[in-house]
Structure 1
Amino acid sequence: MLLIISSAGDDSVHTVLPKLEARGVPLLWWDEADYPGASALTTRYADGRWRQTLTYRGRTHDLSEVTAVWHRRPGKPSAADVREPSQREFAEHVARLALRGAYDLMAGARWMPATPQHALAVDNKLLHLHRATELGFSVAETVVTNDPDELVPAWNRAGGRLITKTLDYHPFTLDDEARHLFTTQVPRRRLSGRHRLRHAPAMLQPNVPKAYELRVTVVGERVFAARIDSQASRLTSLDWRHYDDPKVGYSAHDLPPDVADRCVRLVAGLGLTFGALDFIVTPDGEYVFLEINVNGQWAFVELLSGLPISDGIADWLADAALRPAPEDATDAR
């Protein structure tokens, strides 16, 4: 059986769901936001064995029958019926701990991209860059620091073409508005405010010349590469996540076999079964690795490029889910 863990409004799951049904995959779609308020998870050790059950919408499911798990984009555990804030926070905290333990015990299942605790542990840009260099990928000169004295030397080494990135997506508030930092050019005038770097580390890199960019989606051992003509729009020239779809084209791209092989090895080496990798392709044809999105979005890439990513995901999940269940899926590894 396949267990899908994601919010009810996840368009990516809705895209894959008909393909899973066509492949005859028995499945349960559940959201962590329905726990503990609207579902019951029980982990039990008795008579010399572990058992886990999930009761949801009036049905109890034996989790030992789960052979594949797709952990997509679930909501947060919710105990909304507990009115007192500190008690509700406590209930949701212990719910997260129970989930983590339950997932650890589901050792017999194959996970996409990985158990959430493992995915979180390897979701680090510095780790990705380090592993990429070990595999022989080209990587831009990189400095991650909160030392203000590092900014001017990095700017000079980049010939004044320095960019800065955050280490992770995390919204914040500025002038009472929610904001997010995209990749940003560092102009000379900003060097005078370099003391502010002391408060939070930033990633500094030279602005690598781009012919175009790639979003490479790895599903198991299958690779789907999409070319993004980010330089067609000033809005997307530094960071294509600004999006300008009327001007910026997406198309299927044939990766050189050695690059595709390294992409698969990079994802697998991190203990993942899925990854969305970003690359720059320079005017000289060099592939420069940027990062991995451990559970990155892919449906928009399929829509704009025509790549059959959803079929690849459905194939992988069907293969995992239709395998015979292990004798004891909760035995620890």
Structure 2
Amino acid sequence: MILILSDENDDSVRMVVPELVKRGAEFLWWDPGGYPARTTMSSRLTGGSWRHTLRIDGRAYDCSRFTAIWNRHPTHSQAPEPVTDANHRKYVEKLATILLRGWEHTVESRWLPARTMDILRTQNKLVNLGVAAGLGFATPDTLVTNDAEKLIPFWEETGGELIAKEVEFVEFRIDGEDHSHYTTPVTRRRLTDRHRLALSPAILQRYVDKAIELRITVVGDRVFAAEIHSQGSRATRIDYRHYEQTFSTYAIHRLPRDVEERCLRLTAALGLHYGCIDMIVTPEGEYVYLEINPAGQWGWIETATGLPIAAAIADWLVAADPVQVRTLP
């Protein structure tokens, strides 16, 4: 049986479910956010190993039966409704999260892309940028700092061609309004605000000229590359996430063999079976690595290009249990 860990409203899972049905695969779609509010979990240490049982909607599941686990996009643990005090709820939900991490670590299965702790480790840009550079990827000259005195020397070193990024894309609220930071050019005028670096560290990188951007989705040993034509609009030129669906166009991209093989080596080196890699192709044709998102979105790429990513995910999930799955007609 395949276990899918994700929000019940996850459109990406909805794209893969029909592919699993075609393959005759047995699967359970469960959101760990329902633990402990709507799910029970029992873990028994016996015979030298843990035996875990999930009870969901009155049915018990032996976790040793899960041949593959897709750690897609689970929500945070929720305390039961009778726990009304805010501090008490926070306490219960923290304990539940701790136990879920232990459960993940002790369930023997194939994980796509990996267990949560490994996802958190590998999506850290200091980690994956360093691994990518060690594998021979071209990477932008990068400085990560909260030392305001480092900004001007680095800005001068790049000839003023400098951009700033968040350490991780995190939405936040100020005075009740949603905020998020996108990639931003560091202009001469912005240097006067350099004291703000002391409030929160940032990633500073030499700006790389773009012909196109690439979103490369790796599923197991399969690589799907899509072009993002972001340079046709000022709104998407620096960061295509600005109005990407409005101004950017997409196409399938044929990677050079060495770049494709390096993408596979990167996911393997990070211990991942899936990842979304962002790259730039410069006007001179150089491929420059930016980052990997171990749990990145791919549905919009499949919709725009027709790349069979959902089918590849389904193939990977069923591969460990061929006896239980009938062949596609």
TM bucket (normalised to shorter chain) is over 0.9
CA contact (8 A) 1:233 1:244 kept: no
- CA offset digits 1:33-81 (Å, max 9, x no partner): 1111111111012355531111001110111111100011111111141
Task: State TM-score, norm by structure 2.
Answer: 0.95
CA contact (8 A) 2:142 2:203 kept: yes
The number of aligned residues is: 323
- For 1:49 and 1:117, the matched residues in 2 are separated by 21
- For 1:183 and 1:279, the matched residues in 2 are separated by 14
Residue 311 of structure 2 corresponds to 311
Q: CA deviation at 1:201?
A: 1.2
Residue 123 of structure 1 corresponds to 123
1:93-242 to 2 correspondences below 5 Å: 93-107=94-108, 109-174=109-174, 176-242=176-242
CA contact (8 A) 2:236 2:247 kept: no
In structure 2, the CA distance between the partners of 1:47 and 1:295, relative to structure 1 (3 Å rule), is: closer
Residue 84 of structure 1 corresponds to 85
Q: CA deviation at 1:120?
A: 1.2
Q: CA deviation at 1:213?
A: 0.3
- For 1:46 and 1:216, the matched residues in 2 are separated by 43
- Unpaired segments of 5 or more residues in structure 2? 325-329
Residue 253 of structure 1 corresponds to 253
**Letter of the aligned partner of 1:24 in structure 2?**
G
- CA offset digits 1:122-152 (Å, max 9, x no partner): 2211111111111111111111111111111
Q: CA deviation at 1:323?
A: 6.7
Query: In percent, how many aligned pairs have the same letter?
Result: 47
In structure 2, the CA distance between the partners of 1:220 and 1:195, relative to structure 1 (3 Å rule), is: same
Residue 330 of structure 1 corresponds to none
CA contact (8 A) 2:111 2:273 kept: yes
Q: CA deviation at 1:244?
A: 3.5
Q: CA deviation at 1:321?
A: 4.3
CA contact (8 A) 1:167 1:202 kept: yes
Q: CA deviation at 1:161?
A: 1.7
- For 1:120 and 1:182, the matched residues in 2 are separated by 20
**Letter of the aligned partner of 1:314 in structure 2?**
A
**Residue 36 (structure 1) aligned with residue 36 (structure 2):** yes
Residue 8 of structure 1 corresponds to 8
**Letter of the aligned partner of 2:141 in structure 1?**
E
SS of corresponding position for 1:320: coil
In structure 2, the CA distance between the partners of 1:84 and 1:323, relative to structure 1 (3 Å rule), is: farther
Compare 186-195 and 269-278 and name the one that shifted more.
186-195
In structure 2, the CA distance between the partners of 1:37 and 1:175, relative to structure 1 (3 Å rule), is: closer
Residue 50 of structure 1 corresponds to 50
In structure 2, the CA distance between the partners of 1:93 and 1:174, relative to structure 1 (3 Å rule), is: closer
CA contact (8 A) 2:36 2:80 kept: no
- For 2:101 and 2:265, the matched residues in 1 are separated by 27
SS of corresponding position for 2:277: strand
- For 1:321 and 1:181, the matched residues in 2 are separated by 43
SS of corresponding position for 1:152: helix
Q: CA deviation at 1:190?
A: 1.2
SS of corresponding position for 2:285: coil
In structure 2, the CA distance between the partners of 1:162 and 1:64, relative to structure 1 (3 Å rule), is: same
**Letter of the aligned partner of 2:228 in structure 1?**
I
Task: State TM-score, norm by structure 1.
Answer: 0.94
In structure 2, the CA distance between the partners of 1:50 and 1:161, relative to structure 1 (3 Å rule), is: closer
Following superposition, which runs of at least 4 residues in structure 1 exceed 6 angstroms of deviation? Answer: none
- For 1:254 and 1:7, the matched residues in 2 are separated by 33
- CA offset digits 1:245-268 (Å, max 9, x no partner): 343211100000100000011011
Residue 268 of structure 2 corresponds to 268
Q: CA deviation at 1:174?
A: 3.9
In structure 2, the CA distance between the partners of 1:56 and 1:157, relative to structure 1 (3 Å rule), is: same
Compare 225-234 and 200-209 and name the one that shifted more.
200-209
Residue 329 of structure 1 corresponds to none
In structure 2, the CA distance between the partners of 1:21 and 1:150, relative to structure 1 (3 Å rule), is: same
**Letter of the aligned partner of 2:289 in structure 1?**
F
**Letter of the aligned partner of 1:282 in structure 2?**
T
SS of corresponding position for 1:268: helix
- Unpaired segments of 5 or more residues in structure 1? 325-333
In structure 2, the CA distance between the partners of 1:323 and 1:290, relative to structure 1 (3 Å rule), is: farther
- For 1:75 and 1:142, the matched residues in 2 are separated by 32
In structure 2, the CA distance between the partners of 1:125 and 1:48, relative to structure 1 (3 Å rule), is: closer
SS of corresponding position for 1:139: coil
